[in-house]
Structure 1
């Protein structure tokens, strides 16, 4: 998780000198060094209370690399007559978000991933916006499908935060109904 590695040396030293007592702080040190990302979970929860503009969205995915590659997304499924989702909100509103979507069942089994940022050095928040863009192509006409697909994300003040060519860089051939 961003921020964990640089914090692994600064945070334990702060804890050793914060007045809780040497033995208490010494006990906390290995816990923090080994489990930084889970050690911060309370920070994420509190941020979910005061930062209503961004939601922590966990995505169900077999592994982290597939998550990073965008191979797992948010899909609502009908399983055994119950609506389920492959995405879930984390934080204060988590339980009610499933009900608002009209889903009747939530099964948290599996591996869930989300992206966070380094609170202190980047944005002032742990939460990051996550985007899923689905491009559906129309009818395929041989030898007439030449070109590129690029994605740009621009802020309200016209700052470009992402400009990425996604085809043909990642996909050798586009076909109708192919998900990028």
Structure 2
């Protein structure tokens, strides 16, 4: 379930387990290698070690580590299950534009997991990327207005053309009824 690193091929040599917890080694080790090591720990049931590796990266603003911490705390995978802590990490990653974190945060807020339920905010996070894509600069406001006007005009034209025949038939039927004539099409059947 952890994104990006479970399916990655282990092309990077893993650092020895004993040296992983040395702060100087952590500072020198590339993020991807640390992330892979953390995933390996998690796979071996060593969630606390995975969290120990991800936490410095997450606190340093690395969205992938923030998301992974959110997942671990949400499911209690090797750590005590803590929805509030999961929300914290998902929110940090989501605010950086991490799409999966935005989705997860939105679902948790929507359903009130670890936070008071707020459907409006939940849907906003779930649909955030879509809304950001739809928000164009102010320089396009006039073009959006013109497009909306053209669409409205087209819809009105289609509606008029579609209903014109129906309205004409209704008028003729009404006139025939008022004149005491049989409805159209019944004259042939009577002959």
Pairwise TM-score range, normalised by the shorter structure: under 0.3
Larger RCO of the pair (alpha carbons < 8 Å, separation 6+): 1
Query: Could you tell me the TM-score, scaled by structure 2's length?
Result: 0.25
Structure with the larger helix share: 2
Between Structure 1 and Structure 2, the one with more strand by share is 1
